Amino acid sequence: MAEFSTSVRENGDISIINLKGFLDAHTAPTLESNFTQLINDSKFKIVVNFENLAYISSAGLGVFMAYIESIRDNKGDIKLTNMSDKVFNIFDLLGFPLLYEIYKNEEEAIKKFSGS
């Protein structure tokens, strides 16, 4: 079975989720629980770092869709960073750049949060 794990760090009032491995239908609940936890803790400024993510399926992408509304309703956002070309290609194919800000690295995303 494909491995997937996440870790959450704090940078000021911004929470950074690191993804590692394969995010698919089977592993999606792990990321889901990260989001629900952050929302419960009223932490709505979220950066997701994809650097160590090898694969994402549409069910994995769905997790982002499922929580973005309530996060933006609370003046927060999910910003995505450090995607490999392969992962970006899937996001791009499905039209995610329309809805999400995607940055080269964490610093840019964090700067964007502090700027607004």
Partner 1 sequence: MLEAKNLKVKRNLTALIDFSRIINSSIDLDFILNNVLLTCLGKFLATRGLIALKEKNKIVLKSSKGITTELLQEFPELEATRDCIDDPKLNSFMHIANLKVVEKISSSDDCIGLVCLGEKLNKSEYTEDDVEFLGTILNISATAVQNSMVINELRNVNRQLDSRVQRLSSLFELSKEFGSFAESYRVVKLLVFSILGQFLVQKYAIILFENDVPDILDSKFDNEKLLQLIKRYELHKTPDSIKKDFLKVNHNELLELGVELIVPMQLQNKTRGIILLGSRAGNRDFFNSDIEYIYSVGNLAIISLENNRLFLEALEKQKMEEDLLIARDIQRNLLPQTLPEYDKYDIAALNVSSKQVGGDYYDVIPIVDEKFYIAIADVSGKGVPASLMMANIQAFLQVICQQGMKIDEATAMINDLVTGNTSEGRFITFFWGYINNKTNTLTYVNAGHNPPYILRGDKVIKLTKGGIILGVVKTFTPYIFEEVELKKDDVILLYTDGVSEALNLEFQEYSEERLERIAKSLVKNSAGEILNGIKEDVQIFTQGNTQSDDITMIVIKVR
Residues 49-68 that bind partner 1 (CB under 8 A): 57-66, 68
Pick the binder of partner 1 from 13, 37, 99, 104 (CB under 8 A): 99
User: CB neighbours of 17 closer than 8 A, spacing ≥ 6?
Assistant: 6, 7, 8, 31, 34, 46, 47, 48, 49
Position 93 contacts partner 1 (CB under 8 A): yes
Q: How far apart are CB 95 and partner 1 at their closest, in Å?
A: 6
Position 95 contacts partner 1 (CB under 8 A): yes
Question: In angstroms, rounded to a whole number, what is the distance separating the alpha carbons of residues 110 and 37?
Answer: 20
Contact yes or no for 43/33 (Cβ under 8 A): no
For partner 1, the binding residues (CB under 8 A) are: 24-26, 28-29, 32, 57-66, 68-69, 89-90, 93-96, 98-99
